[in-house]
Amino acid sequence: MQRRRFLGLTTAGVAAAATAPVLTGCGGGSGSGGEVTLKVVAADYGDSAANSSQKAWEKMARAYEAEHGTKVKIDVKVYSWTEVDKRVAEMVKSGDAPDIAQIGAYADYAADGKLYRADQMLSIPTQAGFITSIAHAGEVNRVQYGLPFVSSARLLFYNKKLFDQAGITDAPTTWAELKDAAEALKGIGVRTPYGLPLGPEETQAETMMWMLSGGGGYTDANGSYTIDSTENIETFEWLRDKLVAPGLTGPGSPARTNRQDVFDAFTRGEVGMLNGHPTLMQQASGHGISYGTAALPGRKGKSRSTMGVADWLMAFNTHGNREQIGDFLDFVYSDKNVLGFATQYDLLPVTTTVRETMLDDREYKSLWRFLDELESAEFYPSDKTSWAAVSKLVKEKIGSTVVKGGDPASVLGEIQRAADAMENAGT
């Protein structure tokens, strides 16, 4: 698995950095000397029209244009997470890739030679300013193509009012305790004691969290897929038999339940527990929900690690606007903009200076626990060119493992065989 590292560049990484050409905006793309419109496609972090990321990006775009005159215009389109990857893929396939995309995976585009390297676009201070471990997660063969945009970690969220009513005094630290808490919540009529979103929106995240808490994961220490490991199979058997079958995950099928559906239900007071990221704090508080957070429960104790996520910016070389792209990205990664976006959506920053700002300011105390959890968090294997396709398979198939009659060994084995075949084919 891709574990966060805070050790700086490896020796090989230093050597690569020393020998790689560093291009910091010199030389122009196809739009040099004339007016250029940069097309930006991004994902939405909001939960309503009122706090849509479209507004945040528009604010950055208009501020950039105001500072830099009329030669570069920024055209931003924001889509939901359920469609943004597909939209970008369609644009790339049609030969009209956006100049900048903010989505979940970059490695397949990098492998196809469609992206600029970080050192071809960013100024040296901007590239050096990323938290080292997250920057490493954006590398393919030690070359950075993915630019971390925001990061987050996952914790267990629970409704304090419902816990009090059910007589639950402490957050669960083991699966057995989680099951006991869910049964107590069901006993007082809670609609969804534990929210288990294995629908198409972000199945790969809930899957990874449960794999980690069961001692498994998508990959081993060497980066090889271990999707059908004994630990992973036993994890989904436990979910099927101990949570879903007794009706502890609510009235709907987890296979058709999306993350935002569960988040929305939590803000209505209908969910007792769920795994969540920092944005849920804002959504819950905005609806008057008193909540607590805790480390993810594990098979026999606190999970050895949680899931860390970095969402990625990448720049396509289709239209050749390298200089303009780099200049705009330097603006996007200014302290003001990084802090502003992270604060607006209760996400975690990707730059060292903003991380230190948050840790030094009690205004951001609610995020400290998430920042601490990132120290041992593990990431998606985003550096694998097969990951986008494997993630798609997980979204399509994992939900079936926990329904009545579901066969985790068969489903995980099918995904494993497909992943191995893609790896062997160099996909």
Q: Are 151 and 134 in contact (CB under 8 A)?
A: yes
Tokens representing 172 are 């669960």
pLDDT at 413 over 50: yes
Separation in Å, CA 304 to CA 213, 237, 279, 422: 7, 20, 23, 29
Residues 355, 300 share a domain? no
Number of domains present in the structure of the chain: 2
Residues 254 and 159: their CA atoms lie apart, in Å, by 20
Residues 416, 274 share a domain? yes
User: What is the arithmetic mean of pLDDT over 220-240?
Assistant: 96
Residues 20 and 12: their CA atoms lie apart, in Å, by 12
Residues 261, 172 share a domain? yes
For residue 32, the tally of other CB atoms under 10 A from its CB is 14
User: Residue 427's pLDDT is what?
Assistant: 55
Residues 348 and 307: their CA atoms lie apart, in Å, by 13
User: Residue 263's pLDDT is what?
Assistant: 96
Note whether residue 28 is domain-resident.
yes
Note whether residue 8 is domain-resident.
no
Residues 37, 58 share a domain? yes
User: Residue 33's pLDDT is what?
Assistant: 52
Q: Are 146 and 100 in contact (CB under 8 A)?
A: no
Domain of residue 333, residue span:
15-145+309-368
Residues 334, 252 share a domain? no
Note whether residue 6 is domain-resident.
no
Write down the mean pLDDT value for the chain: 89
Note whether residue 345 is domain-resident.
yes
User: Residue 259's pLDDT is what?
Assistant: 93
User: Residue 388's pLDDT is what?
Assistant: 84
Lowest mean pLDDT among 260-274, 287-301, 381-395, 398-412: 381-395
Closest to 76 in 3D by CA, of 40, 35, 36: 40
User: Residue 371's pLDDT is what?
Assistant: 86
Residue type, 248: L
Residues 280, 320 share a domain? no
Residues 320, 191 share a domain? no
Residues 302, 193 share a domain? yes
User: What is the arithmetic mean of pLDDT over 324-335?
Assistant: 97
Q: What is the CATH number of the domain that holds 118?
A: 3.40.190.10
Note whether residue 2 is domain-resident.
no
